[in-house]
């Protein structure tokens, strides 16, 4: 009897080891993840999506603008690639309407991965591993459509909903956050006016707003207007979500603010920081007049939007 038990245990052990070592099939998201971290999709084979969308920083970057192929830099800050499931448009100017459209753009962008899509596809077709995975998943070899599908599928898995704030509100745990955080949430929704734009499950209404970082001189990125060609859209950028925002510094489309405190100081009195802004949103017409305590509580609330996966172990 004992012998049979040992045989069964050993059989189970070998079986489970086998499933861990040999992966016969994978999901679209798993393949997308492989590619997201693989520099094969950049011209010089040194940059992957994850080079700028760094997992430890909520899939954002830590510099104002990220370094791309051959040391080149773009002119906009790398947004977090997390919590994109509910987004309506992508990029700061909203030029992509689907995550699939978004997924391919950085590969071709000369200041990012700088690899024409046809060349990227050729590389994947020459790679036996990827050739096999795409055939298993789609019944055909890699092409631009299924490449976009898998990368987008991976990005859709990057949802976070386990921050202290979520624990407080969703799980009704009153002890999950401090009184400062609770007060900060009140400021967020009232005197701070933040909720007027940062409303929703990811703290954005997905609108395009001119917050006063366009002056036609040193701040001359026209933003949304480059896509719509409408004068009224000059200086407008997509309102980013705020989940995990404590990890995604620096802030704004050009990464000009290094800390959350800088951001709060800006919104408290935008004209003081950028006095010559053109067409700043009327919501920001007057200084907010936040006290030091209110600013500090507001920052505590923003920090409480950090998912538990980023908690220091």
Among 34, 199, 228, 254, binds another protein (CB under 8 A): 199
Rounded to an integer, what is the distance from CA 149 to the centroid of its chain?
A: 18
Asked if 85 interacts with another protein (CB under 8 A), we say: yes
User: How far is Cα 302 from Cα 88, in angstroms, rounded to an integer?
Assistant: 23
Asked if 271 interacts with another protein (CB under 8 A), we say: no
The torsion angles phi and psi of 64, rounded to 5 degrees, stand at -55, -45
Pick 112 or 307: Cβ nearer another protein: 307
Minimum gap (Å) between residue 116 Cβ and another protein: 31
Asked if 97 interacts with another protein (CB under 8 A), we say: no
Asked if 86 interacts with another protein (CB under 8 A), we say: yes
Pick 78 or 83: Cβ nearer another protein: 83
Q: Which stretch binds another protein (CB under 8 A): 30-38, 40-48, 106-114, 163-171?
A: 163-171
Q: Does the annotation count 100 as an active-site position?
A: no
Contacts (Cβ under 8 Å, ≥6 apart) of 143:
121
Burial of 292 by CB count in 10 Å (0-12 exposed, 13-18 middle, 19+ buried)? exposed
Residue in 67, 226, 41, 74 with CA at minimum distance from that of residue 147: 41
User: How far is Cα 261 from Cα 284, in angstroms, rounded to an integer?
Assistant: 17
**Cβ-contact 48, 36 below 8 angstroms:** yes
Pick 99 or 121: Cβ nearer another protein: 99
Cis check: omega of the bond before 75, within 30 degrees of 0 = no
Quick note: the x/- pattern for another protein over 109-148, rule CB under 8 A, is ----------------------------------------
- Options 112, 155, 294, 299, the catalytic residue: 112
Among 15, 110, 116, 201, binds another protein (CB under 8 A): 201
Angle in degrees, CA 240, 241, 242, rounded to 5: 115
For another protein, the binding residues (CB under 8 A) are: 85-86, 159, 161, 165-166, 169-170, 172, 189-190, 195, 199-202, 243
Active-site positions read 112
């Amino acid at each position: 009897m004992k012998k049979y038990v040992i045989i069964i245990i050993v059989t189970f052990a070998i079986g489970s080891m086998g499933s861990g070592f040999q992966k016969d099939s994978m999901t679209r998201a798993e393949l997308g993840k492989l590619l997201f971290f693989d520099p094969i999709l950049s011209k010089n084979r040194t940059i992957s999506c994850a080079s700028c969308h760094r997992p430890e920083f909520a899939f954002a970057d830590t510099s104002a603008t990220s370094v791309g192929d051959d040391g080149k830099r773009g002119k906009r800050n790398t947004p977090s690639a997390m919590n994109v499931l509910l987004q309506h448009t992508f990029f700061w100017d909203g030029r992509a309407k689907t995550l699939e459209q978004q997924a391919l753009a950085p590969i071709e962008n000369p200041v990012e991965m700088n690899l024409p899509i046809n060349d990227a596809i050729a590389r994947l077709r020459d790679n036996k591993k990827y050739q096999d995975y795409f055939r298993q998943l789609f019944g055909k070899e890699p092409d631009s459509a299924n490449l976009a599908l898998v990368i987008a599928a991976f990005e859709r898995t990057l949802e976070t909903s386990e921050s202290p704030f979520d624990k407080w509100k969703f799980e009704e745990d009153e002890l999950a956050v401090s009184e400062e955080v609770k007060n900060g949430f009140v400021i967020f929704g009232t005197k701070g006016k933040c909720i007027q734009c940062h409303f929703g499950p990811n703290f954005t209404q997905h609108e395009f707003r001119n917050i006063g970082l366009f002056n036609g001189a040193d701040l001359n990125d026209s933003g949304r207007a480059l896509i719509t060609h409408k004068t009224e859209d000059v200086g407008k950028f997509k309102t980013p979500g705020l989940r995990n925002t404590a990890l995604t510094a620096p802030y704004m489309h050009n990464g000009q603010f290094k800390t959350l405190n800088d951001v709060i100081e800006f919104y408290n009195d935008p004209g003081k920081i950028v006095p010559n802004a053109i067409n700043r949103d009327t919501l920001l017409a007057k200084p907010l007049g936040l006290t030091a305590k209110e600013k500090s509580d507001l920052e505590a609330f923003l920090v409480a939007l950090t998912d538990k996966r980023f908690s220091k172990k």
